Chain A
Amino acid sequence: MSEITEARKNSCDQNDRTSEENVESYGDSDRTRNFSDLAQEVASLDELEAEAIFILREVVAEREKPMLLFSGGKDSLVLLRLAEKAFRPARFPFPLVHVDTGHNFPEVMAFRDERVAELGERLIVSSVEDMIADGRLRDEVGPRASRNRLQTAALLDVIEKNGFDAAIGGARRDEERARAKERVFSFRDSFGAWDPKNQRPEPWALYNSFVRRGEHLRVFPLSNWTELDVWAYIRRENLRLPSIYFAHERRVFQRDGMLYAPTAGTQLLPGEQLETRSVRYRTVGDMTCTGAVASVAFSIDDVIGEIATSRITERGQTRADDRATEAAMEDRKREGYF
């Protein structure tokens, strides 16, 4: 017991300091997460890749109308590479879908369109702005307004309109404690709701893909990948990424221990001010709830070095939406969030 108390004391001290400055400590020799063992890295990535390709082929073989969610972010870029490996030289047997909150990073949107054109695949965009314009959605108000929740409505809308019965996404179990509990083939009822207490058991790789009309599946080929696996795979496959994943100068302000870039509607609170910092994004989402991290990582190897020694998880460091309550992610997933 005393050991735990001591550990808590230390970590709280460090944590306070870290969140104040939002700077990670690097190069801690105590950390054992690294890729020093090349054979382990190869074995792990081969196995993860094979599993993800298997999952992609299962969902297209068993569902009538699947789609793949593509945001331009690192995890969905990995998904696209896996889809190439699963289906080329044929075209993808599904369209790509992006849920556009209207508050996306312009660099990422440009990258998204470039990548889609390069692949010659079809992209469907579901726009939160359109739904606000035609009165189906209303923006939150106040300085902390976010379009995080509105995303869910736009996602369910595009699923219903197109009659999709499976949405493939890049979520990973290591991201968040509710996601750690989710199935690879995750059932959604006709409201798009997840019922964590009533999930279909998933022994071996025998996925149950049965749905009725109006119900659908969320399918997660990267379930067993960690953040480090994603980066190691990006390195191995030599994947290009949007520039914001690497260190760059940006005007940002500090809020709740995170660094945010202002959007058109940003209202600074008393005491907050814009400053120029060297930052990068560890995750890419809606600008209103995705924070940057102070960083000097200019290459994939630099980024892997930073993550391998990071003492904070990617969502913990960059996502305000998970902090609302103790079960924020679970609550949003119950409503149909990804």
Chain B
Amino acid sequence: MNTEVASRAHAASESRPLRFSVSGSVDDGKSTLVGRLLLDTKQIAEDQLAHVEEASRRRGFSRTELGLLTDGLRAEREQGITIDVAYRYFRTAKRRFIVADTPGHVQYTRNMVTGASTADVALLIVDVRHGVSEQTRRHALASRLFGVKNLVFGVNKMDLVDFSEAEFRRVESELLAFADKLPRSSITIVPVAALLGDNIVERSTAMPWYTGPALLEILEAAHAGGDRDKPFRFPVQWVVRPSSDEHHDYRAYAGQIAQGTVRVGDRLVAWPSGKSSIVTGIDRHPETLQEASAPLSVAIRLADNIDISRSDVLTHEGAPPRLARSFSATVAWFDAREAKVGQRYWLKINTRTVRVRLDAIEGIVDLTTLGLRAGAAALALNDLAVVRLSTSIPIVCDAYDDAPITGSFILVDEVSHDTVAAGILKSESGDEP
């Protein structure tokens, strides 16, 4: 049983689908590039292509507008821009992909962060004629801050500069100079012409001076993070407790394994209470497992009834997580209403929703120097900032770099119920309660 489970789980981590986000400024050709990627990997069905052709003709375009494949909303088609994140799914002989096509429009940066939050790779589109823009910097920085270490820059519209190597090298050196300031990142830069398909799926014959791989080859080879070997984290979602005679004594703690592996016989500790018990069973109905790893959703049975409920986090004993009521975090502010020091919000972290106060704004990230600008009195739309937050009860404070699922949160406005920020916990700070 053990070996079978282990080998199956091993296969799972080796072949995870690659999730990547695509972003760029308006008119950089982002949606065209995604459309080209889908078209050239033969993922576009005939009715979809016929629809896009018809829609293009109706708009009087001289060519088929591939962007219409992903820009599905009426308003997007009217304005010719992407407003909201669109998810696309495609597969090649080598791999499965989940693409988040994210808007480059300045007021919609929140969607870009959404796309980046679950991405293994961030693909950033740059117009070769315009070079590195503020949008490029913002997107690259936000992707990196939100945990994407693998950045791929597609320098697009090479066809409009006659596939000139000099033009490409100019943008490439701009990108490298900027990327130099980003913490630990893997940077790949590829010249492409999304409209014609050069270096998208097939290597281009128009740019013999470029000897690297095409974009799809880069994506096929990219690493998708696996979380099975990290310290075990299990945020409890729901207690399964049938009120039937047949299962009178059944009680299990249900949730999705955020990271790591759990085995029958392990001693687990529930946080924040600190009480512990031994795993007697791992249920994945109708199967019962000896061990389970991220990202499976399971229900864990314990030897003792130790008062565990939703929002508690189970970990292995011996490596207690940091608990804190006051902590530093990096946030992306999504709301048009500013956030002022002293304001209260709902914080949703893991399966816990708790009241939180904005205690201090430590600094706003400066896009040019990538340093922190102190002295801000409020957070404005699209700001990336380091802030100090406090909660009414201590919470498990995992650093995002070590534990992306338990180290990330959203803030919800108490009145509008809008999601006003996404945030990640930093590693170096936090006071013991």
Contact = CB atoms under 8 A, between A and B. Distances in A.
Contacts of A274: none
Given A32-B93, A60-B238, A313 B72 contact: no
Interface in B250-264: 250, 254-256
Nearest to B19: A224
A60 B241 CA distance: 14
Interface string A209-227: 0111000000000011010
Given A88-B286, A224-B89, A15 B15 contact: no
A258 to B, nearest CB: 11
B200 to A, nearest CB: 11
B8 interface: yes
A165 interface: no
Given A57-B238, A88-B285, A312-B46, A204 B118 contact: yes
Contacts of B95: 40
B242 A54 contact: no
Interface string A1-17: 10111011001101100
A75 to B, nearest CB: 15
B419 A204 contact: no
Q: What bracket does the count of chain A residues touching chain B fall in?
A: 35 or more
B189 to A, nearest CB: 25
Interface stretch (A79-87, A99-107, A147-155): A79-87
A33 interface: yes
Interface string A303-338: 000000011110011000000001100110000000
B45 interface: yes
B85 A181 contact: yes
A224 B405 CA distance: 18
Interface in A182-203: 196-197, 199-203
A61 interface: yes
A316 B242 contact: no
Contacts of A31: 42
Interface in B231-290: 237-238, 240-244, 246-247, 250, 254-256, 284-286
A203 B114 contact: yes
Interface string B276-313: 00000000111000000001110000000000001000
B41 interface: yes
Most A CB within 10 A of own CB, among B96, B110, B405:
B96
Interface stretch (A45-53, A130-138, A156-164): A45-53
A37 B241 CA distance: 38
B11 interface: yes
B63 A1 contact: yes
B285 A43 contact: no
B46 A178 contact: no
A197 B75 contact: yes
A277 to B, nearest CB: 20
Nearest to B348: A206
B130 interface: no
Given A50-B295, A174-B89, A330-B73, A90 B417 contact: no
Nearest to B65: A4
Interface string B51-80: 101010010000110100110111101000
Contacts of A145: none
Most A CB within 10 A of own CB, among B11, B46, B92, B196:
B46
A177 interface: yes
A20 to B, nearest CB: 13
B14 interface: yes
Most A CB within 10 A of own CB, among B50, B114, B240:
B50
B322 interface: no
B60 to A, nearest CB: 15
B365 interface: no
B41 to A, nearest CB: 7
Nearest to B294: A50
Contacts of B247: 89-90
Contacts of A61: 237-238, 310, 351
A311 B86 CA distance: 22
Contacts of B382: none
A129 interface: no
Most B CB within 10 A of own CB, among A12, A206, A212:
A206
B242 to A, nearest CB: 4
Contacts of B16: 43, 47
A8 B49 contact: yes
Most B CB within 10 A of own CB, among A31, A44, A330:
A44
B73 A224 contact: no
Contacts of A197: 73, 75, 83-84
B348 A208 contact: yes
A316 B46 CA distance: 9
Nearest to B116: A203
A50 B11 contact: no
Contacts of A47: 12, 16-17, 295
Interface in A62-98: 62, 84-91
B170 to A, nearest CB: 26
10 contacts: A15-B49, A33-B42, A44-B17, A49-B297, A89-B242, A203-B117, A204-B408, A312-B46, A313-B47, A327-B74
Given A54-B237, A90-B241, A208-B410, 10 more contacts: A4-B64, A15-B49, A32-B41, A40-B96, A61-B310, A180-B70, A197-B84, A206-B410, A311-B45, A330-B73
Interface of B: 8, 11-17, 39, 41-43, 45-51, 53, 55, 58, 63-64, 66, 69-70, 72-75, 77, 83-89, 91-93, 95-96, 98, 110-111, 113-114, 117-118, 146, 195-197, 237-238, 240-244, 246-247, 250, 254-256, 284-286, 295-297, 310, 334, 346, 348-349, 351, 353, 404-405, 408-410, 412, 417-419, 422
**Considering the complex of A and B, which 5 residue pairs feature the smallest CB-CB distances, nearest first?**
A177-B72, A316-B47, A203-B117, A53-B297, A90-B242
